[in-house]
Amino acid sequence: SIIVFGSLNMDLVVRSPRLLQSGETLIGSDFYMTPGGKGANQAVAAAKLGVLTEMIGRVGTDLFGLELLAELKAVGVGTDGVLVDATHSGVAMITVAATGENQIIGVFGANGNVDETDVERLRTKLLDTQLLLLQLEIPIAAVKQAAQIAHGLGVQVILDPAPVPTEAIAPLYPFIDILMPNEIEAGQLVGFPVTSPDTAAIAAGVLQQQGAKTVIVKLGAQGVFCATPDETFFVPAFPVAAIDTVAAGDAFAGGLTAALVEGASLRQAVVWGAAAGALATTKKGAQAAMPDRPTFNAFLTA
């Protein structure tokens, strides 16, 4: 089984003729709410692939909190480690203009209160888990404590370093088995643009010099570059007709962890991650776009 220690958010999306100017009111054309947060997305991605998955984090006492928990339960993610905190749930207010441009304001809400008490809840559950999946949408101090405890217990720790914080994250590397940035995050971590397998290889080398062990750089429609302490390899993306790349990286995390939990090699796990990421781009949305196991198996054997 795996544990995801991270964020849950409700995304509130409006369609607008154009982006707003200061003081302006516009009439939009559509509104929808969709559950998100990298933590919850990755938990859903893993659970839909059949991995026994638990979520640890916080939602607020509002209706969004209830809905976020219900969405996780609906795909079988264990939620008794999610605390309902006396504040509002994490939200992202998203405006999508007719031109396709967007503006997003995220507010952490309950996610921002995750602290050592959540890490204590995590500790008891780590005893019978194989893998801990982390991102950076909750306070970094809690992420570090979680990684440290899990590492000490011999649990495999994977960090998706998104969003990259202003403070250095290298102090986390000793407790992380796999560091998994996309190209933008890799670029922010190393301070030069990462846009290709070649630049990803250089970036992975820099991150390993800073103490990272295995580094996986997700390169969107190009594929995935991977550097372990022993070897490097590249897995090309699966050719698909992508319509919405939202949460492809979260789907990748689900595919990767599913393979690792089932005992596959890292190379096989990266292939599974790439397959889940590709499938997620063929559907709209985040959690709704995560492939289920039959779809995933059919895609891999096609």
Please state, in angstroms and rounded to a whole number, the distance separating the CA atoms of residues 70 and 265: 34
Q: Is residue 164 close enough to count as binding ligand ADP by CB under 6 A?
A: no
Count of chain residues binding ligand ADP (CB under 6 A): 19
Per CB under 6 A, the list member of 278, 286, 289, 290 interacting with ligand ADP is: 278
Per CB under 6 A, the list member of 87, 113, 281, 287 interacting with ligand ADP is: 281
Please state, in angstroms and rounded to a whole number, the distance separating the CA atoms of residues 236 and 248: 15
Residue numbers 173-202 binding ligand ADP by CB under 6 A: 182
Residue 191 to residues 185, 186, 188, 194, 207, Cα–Cα distance (Å): 10, 8, 5, 9, 11
Per CB under 6 A, the list member of 91, 146, 179, 224 interacting with ligand ADP is: 224
User: Phi and psi at residue 228, in whole multiples of 5°?
Assistant: -100, 175
User: Phi and psi at residue 185, in whole multiples of 5°?
Assistant: -65, -40
Residue placing its CB nearer to ligand ADP in the complex, 175 or 272:
272
250 is catalytic: yes
Give the residue from 67, 5, 7, 70 showing the smallest Cα distance to 37. 7
Residue placing its CB nearer to ligand ADP in the complex, 208 or 245:
245
Q: In angstroms, give the least distance from the CB of 51 to ligand ADP.
A: 18
Strands 178-179 and 102-107: unpaired
Q: In angstroms, give the least distance from the CB of 297 to ligand ADP.
A: 18
Q: Is residue 111 close enough to count as binding ligand ADP by CB under 6 A?
A: no
Residue placing its CB nearer to ligand ADP in the complex, 84 or 240:
240
Q: In angstroms, give the least distance from the CB of 239 to ligand ADP.
A: 7
Rg (CA), the chain: 18
Q: Name 206's Cβ contacts closer than 8 Å, sequence gap at least 6.
A: 190
User: Which range in 14-22, 46-54, 128-136, 239-247 contacts ligand ADP by CB under 6 A?
Assistant: 239-247
Beta-carbon neighbour count of residue 9 at 10 Å?
28
Q: Which residues does the annotation mark as catalytic?
A: 250
List interacting residues with ligand ADP (CB under 6 A). 182, 218-221, 223-224, 237-238, 240, 242, 245, 248-249, 252, 274, 277-278, 281
